[in-house]
């Protein structure tokens, strides 16, 4: 009994005492795996900061936000890294984030004016198919074809929500019609990216909703040139992944230093071949070999966080109505 008590007391002590040189960063799972940017970033930052950088993986972007909302102001997080612009309006509304106070010099296809969140990488959503197969030139052509695609559920996955916003932005009032025409192309809808991508790799569908950068993974990591992203005339919706400083952080200076470090060379150069996205600031040496083979959309589509939040529920209802028929 005594032992149990001291163990519990020990656990309480380690969790309750916040050390002044520990920076806790909440992020999504795939960021912290050994293939993700996490290990590289941690080593590089710890070399310069004289601190202990701790990543805490919490599901995906949406799970990250709900985790923070659950914890509220008492959260141990100093930085939250991995939300996207579809989530930042809700994130800002929690009042848990502080302004970053940085005017960054970014290589984004869009202007960046958000004073709470800073982007660390970005990408274009795209359908990824097999090289040599027929590739449609637009969402419309895809909807009129008999190609099969796998998409993610916008109610449970960030890419799924991205497609919802893509079609809404490109088609406006006509979005519902496009979804109806697309419904016979949709082989199925999965809860998350992993399941959808797995189905595609198993040969279940002609294409899968992913990113224009996905073929770069196959090309660079597996020397496999068989995957291509379809370039669409309507333009491609962007995902901009951001980080923010938690207002209640007990190490505000360290958090500020991390945000500055996030846009610096060492962090940014790790992004392309670990997170398989475009870096927010292109490193001095440029992008890795292979990235030049990727398609470059003619138009970059992106709703502001406020617009995205305002349009989400109606767009979701349109999607559900079109696909439930």
Kindly list the residues in this chain that would bind other proteins in the complex (CB under 8 A): 11-12, 14-15, 29-30, 32-36, 55-59, 62-63, 65-67, 69-71, 74, 76, 90, 148, 153, 155-156, 161, 183, 186-195, 197-199, 201-205, 217, 221, 276, 319-320, 323-324
Q: How far apart are CB 186 and other proteins at their closest, in Å? A: 6
Alpha carbon dihedral 306, 91, 102, 271, in 10-degree steps, equals: -100
Q: How far apart are CB 117 and other proteins at their closest, in Å? A: 18
Within a 10 A sphere around the Cβ of 104, how many other Cβ atoms?
Answer: 15
Compare residues 115 and 184 and give the one whose CB is closer to other proteins: 184
Q: How far apart are CB 140 and other proteins at their closest, in Å? A: 20
Q: How far apart are CA 292 and CA 137, in angstroms?
A: 20
Helix (H) or strand (E) holding 67: helix 61-71
Compare residues 62 and 126 and give the one whose CB is closer to other proteins: 62
Q: How far apart are CB 5 and other proteins at their closest, in Å? A: 14
Compare residues 205 and 239 and give the one whose CB is closer to other proteins: 205
Compare residues 63 and 264 and give the one whose CB is closer to other proteins: 63
Please give the C-alpha separations between residue 234 and each of 129, 155, 182, in angstroms, as whole numbers: 18, 24, 15
Q: How far apart are CB 170 and other proteins at their closest, in Å? A: 21
Compare residues 145 and 148 and give the one whose CB is closer to other proteins: 148
Please give the C-alpha separations between residue 278 and each of 29, 36, 122, 157, 206, in angstroms, as whole numbers: 19, 14, 5, 20, 25
Tokens representing 159 are: 């890419």
Tokens representing 85 are: 């612009």
Give Cα 312 to chain centroid, integer Å. 17
Q: How far apart are CB 97 and other proteins at their closest, in Å? A: 15
Q: How far apart are CA 180 and CA 144, in angstroms?
A: 11
- Report helix, strand or coil for 210: strand
Compare residues 56 and 233 and give the one whose CB is closer to other proteins: 56
């Amino acid at each position: 009994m005594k032992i149990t008590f001291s163990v519990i007391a020990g656990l309480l002590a380690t969790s309750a005492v916040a050390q002044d040189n520990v920076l806790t960063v909440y992020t999504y799972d795939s960021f912290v795996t050994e293939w993700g940017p996490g290990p590289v970033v941690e080593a590089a930052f710890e070399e310069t900061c004289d601190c202990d950088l701790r990543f805490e993986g919490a599901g995906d972007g949406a799970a990250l936000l709900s985790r923070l909302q659950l914890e509220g102001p008492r959260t141990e997080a100093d930085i939250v890294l991995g939300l996207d612009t579809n989530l930042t309006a809700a994130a800002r509304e929690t009042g848990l984030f502080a302004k970053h106070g940085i005017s960054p010099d970014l290589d984004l296809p869009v202007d960046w004016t958000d004073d709470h969140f800073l982007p660390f990488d970005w990408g274009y959503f795209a359908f990824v198919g097999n090289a040599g197969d027929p590739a449609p030139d637009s969402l419309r052509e895809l909807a009129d074809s008999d190609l099969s695609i796998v998409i993610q559920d916008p109610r449970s996955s960030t890419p799924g929500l991205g497609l919802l916003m893509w079609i809404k932005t490109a088609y406006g009032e006509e979005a519902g019609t496009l979804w109806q025409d697309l419904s016979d192309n949709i082989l199925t809808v999965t809860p998350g990216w992993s399941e959808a991508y797995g189905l595609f790799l198993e040969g279940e569908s002609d294409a899968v909703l992913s990113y224009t950068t996905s073929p770069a993974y196959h090309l660079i990591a597996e020397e496999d040139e068989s995957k291509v992203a379809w370039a669409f005339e309507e333009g491609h919706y962007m995902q901009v992944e951001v980080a923010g400083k938690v207002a209640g952080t007990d190490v505000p200076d360290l958090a500020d230093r991390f945000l500055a470090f996030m846009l610096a060379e060492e962090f940014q150069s790790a992004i392309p071949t670990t997170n398989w996205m475009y870096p927010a600031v292109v490193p001095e040496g440029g992008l890795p070999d292979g990235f030049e083979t990727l398609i470059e959309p003619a138009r970059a589509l992106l709703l502001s966080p406020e617009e995205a939040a305002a349009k989400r529920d109606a767009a979701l209802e349109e999607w559900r109505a079109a696909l439930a028929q």
